Each structure stands twice: as structure tokens, then as C-alpha cells.
Amino acid sequence: MKRNILLCLVALLGWGIWTSCHIDNLLERADGGEKAPDKVLNGLQDAPGRFSEATVISGLSGLADLVRNSGQRSLRAAESATSGWGGKTVSQTYRLEGFNEIECSGVAQIYFTQGDRYSVKATADEKLLKYLKMKVSDGVLVVETKINRGVNNAKIRVDVTAPHLKGVEISGVSGFHAANIVADDFEVELSGVSVCEFSTIKCRTFSGELSGVGKISGRVAARKAELDVSGTCKGTLDIAADVLSLEQSGAAKMEVNFKGRLAKVENSGAGYLNLRVNSDLLEVENSGVSRIKLSGVAARTKISRSGMSKIDTDALKKR
């Protein structure tokens, strides 16, 4: 009886992750027919009481993979669905300045360069620029694209230059792309089907809140780095910091390379974390049906797990 209740609860959790992380019109393009998680859940409900623990773990891991892979298919579908109208491409310059944050929604792709002067330029099909709305509000450059649901193949590039940048908020089917950024503190917030990629961010405190079906990649050099990852996010980060605090849930899949004094990790849900460390102290808590692979070297470790989670420490060495 307890096993059946557990199956139902975890199945509902997986379904919740699935429904919360996808945009309806993207799913219609990315997935056809009966959705894969429906098949998994129906199978669990049709044959209660017949699963061993190993089968449960395998089934739930498979569900997490289906959720994550379907989310990434939605991301690829969204990217291909914003590939351009095929008309005449034009550029327009905007007189906007006095901002140190960027907020972008819709289908725009932001390309940021840190420089001495402010500059904002949009490039898109000449018929598409009328859908682009930009303004500066309370120090934030707000970029919106008001595109009708029936308008496909919309692609807008926005090149932004500013002396300082302390954070970005990216949502919808948008993206943020940058080379090197130097800041006091820097915050990244991703949701929807968004992308954030950069070469290096140097700052005192780096904070990242990632949800939905997003992707992130880059290098971070900071005194303190904090990451909160959920949904079906996927990313690769190289972090050098005194302290790293990482919380991961949902069906996220992250690869993190950390060098510093302390790495503190809490992992739950049905996700996967590949963590390589070179640290004095490594603290890891794993729960749910999530998986962690640990490698590298640590002087001291404090590792625990619960539920049906797994931790692979074969490649982790003590110095």
C-alpha cells in the first residue's frame, strides 16, 4: 500500500514538473500525439503493486529523462521557430541610457558588450521591428516583443553596450549572450524557454535563479556564488569562488566545475548533477530519485542521501 502511494505521489510530482515547465504552443510544435509522460503515468496506474524497488527507481529516472528531454526539444523547437521571416533585414538605433539591468521577454536575443558608452541597436526584418518595444524604467532596460500568437519565424537581435551591468532577467523565448562582464554583484534570472551564455563574469556575489526549460553556460569568478535550479533546466558552469551554494530540484541537469573553499549542495526531485570539485570542504545532501556524480578532490566531505537517490563518489578523492 505504501509503495503504491509513493508511486502515485512521485508520478504526480513528475507530471507537475512537466506541466509547469512548458508553454502550450511550444508543446504543440515539439510533441505530436500522446505525450510520453502520459504513457509512463498510465503504465504506473494500470499495474499497481507489481513493481520492485529497482523497477520504481528505473521508471522514475526514465520519467525524469522524458520530462527533461521533452523540455529541451521544446527549446530547440522554439529556437528553430524564431529563425527569421526571410524579408529585408534592417537596423534601428535607440537613444536609451542610464540603465544597469536588462529585462527581456518575447523572442528577442540580447548581445551585450561592456563599454564606456551606452548603445542600443535592434536588427530584424523590417516588418518585424514594429513589434519591438524598448524603454528604460528605474534603471532597467526593458525589451519586449508584442508578437501575435499566429506570427511564426520571428527573430530579433538587440545589441546593447553599457558601462555597468548588475543583472539580467530573461523569459519567453529570449536569450542573453555576452563575452566578459565585470561587476560588483551580478544576478541572472531565467524562466520560460530562455538561454544565457557568457564567457566570464567577475563579481563579488553571483546569484542565479533558473527555472522552466532554460540553458546556461559560462565561467564565474566570485567571492560567493549561489544557484537555485529547477524545472528542466540544463547548464554547464565553471565556478571559482570562496563559497558555492547550489540547490537543484525538478528534472534539471547540470554540470558544474567548482574550485574554492566550500561547496554546499542540496539536490532533490528527479534531476542529475555532475559536480567536479577542488575544495577544502564538500557538503552534499541528495534526496528524491535524483542522481549526483562527484569527482575531483576535497580535503573534507559530508555526504548524505535519502529516499531512492543515488550518489556516485568513485571519482572523488581526498587530499
Alpha-carbon distance of 316 to 283, in angstroms, equals: 13
Confidence at residue 39, expressed as pLDDT on a 0 to 100 scale: 41
Confidence at residue 217, expressed as pLDDT on a 0 to 100 scale: 98
Q: Which three cell numbers stand for residue 21?
A: 515547465
Contact (Cβ atoms closer than 8 angstroms) between residue 169 and residue 196: no
Confidence at residue 69, expressed as pLDDT on a 0 to 100 scale: 55
Alpha-carbon distance of 171 to 281, in angstroms, equals: 35
Alpha-carbon distance of 8 to 12, in angstroms, equals: 6
Phi-psi region of 53 (alpha: psi -120 to 50; beta: other; left: phi over 0): alpha
Tell me the whole-structure pTM to 2 decimals. 0.77
Domains of the chain: 2-80 (no CATH), 82-172 (2.160.20.120)
Give 222's contacts (C-beta < 8 A, 6+ positions apart).
186, 201, 202, 203, 204, 205, 206, 239, 240, 241
- How do the residues of the chain divide into helix, strand and coil, expressed in percent and rounded to 5? 20, 50, 30
DSSP strands (E only) in 164-249: 167-170, 175-182, 185-190, 195-202, 205-210, 215-229, 234-248
Contact (Cβ atoms closer than 8 angstroms) between residue 67 and residue 232: yes
Contact (Cβ atoms closer than 8 angstroms) between residue 268 and residue 246: no
Q: Per-residue pLDDT for the chain (319 aa), expressed as one digit of tens each? A: 444 434 444 443 444 444 444 444 443 333 333 344 434 434 433 444 444 444 444 555 555 555 455 555 544 444 444 444 567 899 999 999 999 999 999 899 999 999 999 999 999 998 888 899 999 999 999 999 887 554 455 689 999 999 999 999 999 999 999 999 999 999 999 999 999 999 999 999 999 999 999 999 999 999 999 999 999 999 999 999 999 999 999 999 999 999 999 999 999 999 999 999 999 999 999 999 999 999 999 999 999 999 999 999 999 999 8
Confidence at residue 146, expressed as pLDDT on a 0 to 100 scale: 80
Q: Which three cell numbers stand for residue 130?
A: 514594429
Contact (Cβ atoms closer than 8 angstroms) between residue 209 and residue 192: no
Q: Which pLDDT tens digit goes with each residue over 164-184?
A: 999 999 999 999 999 999 999
* Residues 163, 167, 172, 174, CA torsion sign: positive
In sequence order, the β-bridge partners of residue 123 are 91, 157
Q: Which three cell numbers stand for residue 224?
A: 560567493
234-240's contacts with Cβ under 8 Å and 24+ in sequence apart are: 234/68, 234/72, 235/210, 239/206
